[in-house]
Amino acid sequence: MVASPEETPESHDVRDNYNFVQISRSYLTQMRKLARASPIAHEILYYLVEHMGRTTNAVVCSYGTLCEVTGVSRPTVGRAIKLLKDENWIDTVKIGNASAYCVNERVFWQAGRNQRKYAVFSATVIASASEQDSNFKEKAKQKLTYIPIIEDNNIAVTGKDELPPPDQQDLDI
């Protein structure tokens, strides 16, 4: 491991291995074959591994973003994704116009195999600037409006609703 001037081995918890991705040695031959067969698919796979979550191997990313990252056309990205899926390097889950790419956890992982946490779905989301509204940077600086959430045990009061008077025992007098 090469440490940058600000980083020293002591500055990281050795058990954490935060910045490491592990790979199964048994897949190295297939990875070399993938690199020869489709350099773009190989690049996309490594991009997804680079950005996948620590406890789940998923990344949400659009084709447009993958086109920007690789510098190739949409059909080329589509062929690369199809190859990665067909050869079981990744699986995909459609989310509107984007996809969640789930990297094969038998090949790549970050957390210790016995430390993985599972959820219904969790992913790193990548949204390129070119796919956003032109004023997205200004919007990001604005404070969002607070929207109250009504829980199951709460009663929503609207203009014409009548509520019974409070129980007198609930009042501190």
| pLDDT band with cut points at 50, 70 and 90 for residue 6 | very low
For the chain, list the domains and their CATH numbers. Answer: 17-129 (1.10.10.10)
Question: Are 93 and 99 a contacting pair, CB within 8 Å?
Answer: yes
Question: Are 109 and 116 a contacting pair, CB within 8 Å?
Answer: yes
Per DSSP, 93 falls in state: E
pLDDT digits (tens, 9 = 90+) for 74-100: 999 999 999 999 999 998 887 777 788
Q: What is the mean pLDDT of residues 41-59?
A: 87
Dihedral angle over CA of 146, 122, 59, 88, nearest 10: -160
Give all strands (DSSP E) within the chain, no chain letters: 22-23, 58-61, 90-95, 98-103, 108-109, 124-125
- For residue 120, give the amino acid letter: V
Smallest CA-to-CA distance from 57 within 114, 14, 121 is with 121
- For residue 143, give the amino acid letter: K
Six token digits for residue 87: 């050869």
Higher per-residue confidence, 115 vs 89: 89
pTM: 0.61
**Strongest mean pLDDT among 8-17, 53-62, 127-136:** 53-62
- For residue 154, give the amino acid letter: N
